[in-house]
Structure 1
Amino acid sequence: MRGSLSRLLLLIVLQIAVLIPCGATVPGDPGAIKFMTYNVHHCNPPSKPGVIDVAAIARVIKKENPDIIALQEIDVNTGRSGKINQAALLAEKAGYHAFHFSKTIDFDGGEYGIMILSRYPLSDMETHKLPTDPATGGEPRVLSVATATLPNGKKIRVASVHLDFKGKTNSKLQMTEVNKILGKEKLPVIIGGDFNATENSETIGLLDAAFTRTCKHCAFTIEEGKGKMAIDFIAYKPGTAFSVIKHQVIDETYASDHLPVMAELKIH
């Protein structure tokens, strides 16, 4: 009986080995991480002005099943979104246990900002103010940072950012400050965000000087008029800490005016 049970267990193990190719990752694999960045347009589908559909954003996240998400354009208790806490609701509806919301500005009786959503525990959560040139009339912006503890106990720093789009001055000022802040980190860092700048810009040149992006010649993430642009990116540092298993822009056009970006990274 004991010998039969051992043979059965060996057969099951062999079948699993055949189904999962060498080097492949499986859900919860501590050797890899799925990271998404997504500008959610305050959960307002662009085809439905004034409508707030938190469930639509949550469905996108659940379908792609990332481990950590950097989110931008989040409303918390604003009048335009019906006085709901989108940060808490997104965490609840998408099934994530940890989040860190960073207020960018006071807006319409509530707060507007960015956040980090994680299936792993978050700690050492910080919000850093980024500089804005007063002459541009640009919005204040912030960098949201937290430490994620992975299933194997390894810790990494994760960040979300949304740079200002008014002129070239602010995005360069803000990206320089982001590099300064995250350049002090001792742990590996993954950042995702809406950089409001294209690959050939000085702003993304600054990003590339300090980080390794998960794509080059990236697919577009937003369509404005007749123009299609890639302005949402994921990047990491140091370059030896990760390698890119997969990078993709998700073809999801209902929930937001931006397309979500996903990268699966091997952890070294």
Structure 2
Amino acid sequence: MKTFFSTIVFCVFFVVLHAQSVRILTYNIHHGNPPGHPNKIDLPRIAEVIKTADADVVGIQEVDVRVSRSQMVDQAKELASLTGMHYFFSKGIDLEEGEYGTLILTKHKIVGNKHYDLPMVEKSENRSLAVVDLELPTGEILSFANTHLDLKAKNKVAQANYINELGARIENPLILVGDFNAKPSEETIKILEEQFVRNTTTNGPTHPNTGAKNEIDYIMVGKQTKFSWKTYNTILETYASDHLPVFAEIEITLQ
């Protein structure tokens, strides 16, 4: 009887509280153009970086869809094909007869997606936030957000505040990634840290690709999420883009 009771207690505890590891990558890919080769597009190399990282979910910025400079390829669809992952593209702007924006790739089933146009205080290039809901192997839902913030300071601040407001309304475990065009000391990052947790121990510069000196690409986790960092680092891939990819593995405590 005692053994049976102990088994029941263990099973109930396991159902109520268990952990899920998630491997994450964020990468500004410079529309697949290696900066040392102005007229070249090398999506297979970008795909190889993603596959080598073995990421479960990836946020990509600066993606072309049917634009002449990148050979009229739908880069979102092509990267999904090259990596064997599900995808969701979020347009920032119309470009020529095509589109330019951000991309989410994931091994997990996408059960929901949303596109938000981010606010602009000053006239600039339109920016978006993409949020997808992913069904994890355990059956729980993880929300994953990807963005590329503006270069102008007032716009970045407004966009960070907007993202915080959205993030606060999401009840699922939440991950935010992207090129925020802001260093850790800037107001934009300080605002985001009100709602999201940033790695401050194993982080490092992400731009430019050679002699990197500025950290402007981030993986953050919503404060509603119970988690721990397992790994966080930049990947020293200096050929494929003018940014270094950032990788993290976190362990999320699920209920």
Same fold, TM exceeding 0.5? yes
Distance 2:107 2:218 in 1: 21
Alignment-derived partner of residue 18 in structure 1:
none
For each residue in 1:107-153, what CA deviation from the matched residue of structure 2 results, as whole angstroms up to 9, or x when unmatched?
1220000011000001210000101123xx42110100000111111
What is the aligned counterpart of 1:31 among 6, 13, 20?
20
Matching residue's letter, 2:166: I
Please point out which of 160, 164, 168 is paired with 1:183.
168
Residue number among 118, 122, 126 corresponding to 1:140 in the alignment = 126
1:65 and 2:54 equivalent? yes
Amino acid at match of 2:110: L
Which letter maps to 2:138? N
- Alpha-carbon distance between aligned partners in 2 of 1:225 and 1:124, rounded to the nearest angstrom: 37
Are 2:203 and 1:214 aligned? Answer: no
Taking the TM superposition and a 5 Å limit, the aligned residue runs for 1:1-268 are: 31-96=20-85, 98-134=86-122, 137-166=123-152, 168-216=153-201, 218-223=203-208, 228-238=213-223, 240-268=225-253
Q: Give the match for residue 24 of structure 1.
A: none
Deviation >6 Å, runs of 4+:
224-227
Matched-pair identity in %:
39
Distance in 2, Cα, partners of 1:46 & 1:108 = 22
Kindly state the Cα deviation for residue 31 of structure 1 after the two structures are TM-superposed. 2.1
Secondary structure of 1:222's counterpart equals coil
**Structure 2 CA distance, aligned partners of 1:242 and 1:225?**
32
Q: Secondary structure at the match of 1:126?
A: strand
The residue identity in structure 1 corresponding to 2:92 is: T
The structure-2 alpha-carbon separation of the partners of 1:43 and 1:76, relative to structure 1 and needing over 3 Å to count, comes to same
Equivalent pairs, count = 236
Mapped contact 2:173–2:225 kept (Cα < 8 A): no
Structure showing greater radius of gyration is 1
How many angstroms apart in 1 are the aligned matches of 2:210 and 2:145? 30
Please tell me the residue identity of whatever aligns with 2:112.
D
Instruction: Report the secondary structure of 1:199's partner residue.
Output: coil
**Counterpart residue type for residue 36 of structure 2:** S
Unaligned runs of 5+ in 2: 1-18
Tell me, in whole angstroms, the C-alpha distance in 2 between the residues paired with 1:224 and 1:154: 36
- The aligned amino acid for 2:125 is E
Normalised by the length of structure 2, the TM-score is 0.88
CA drift at 1:160: 0.3
C-alpha distance in structure 2 between counterparts of 1:74 and 1:223, whole Å? 18
Aligned counterpart, 1:11: none
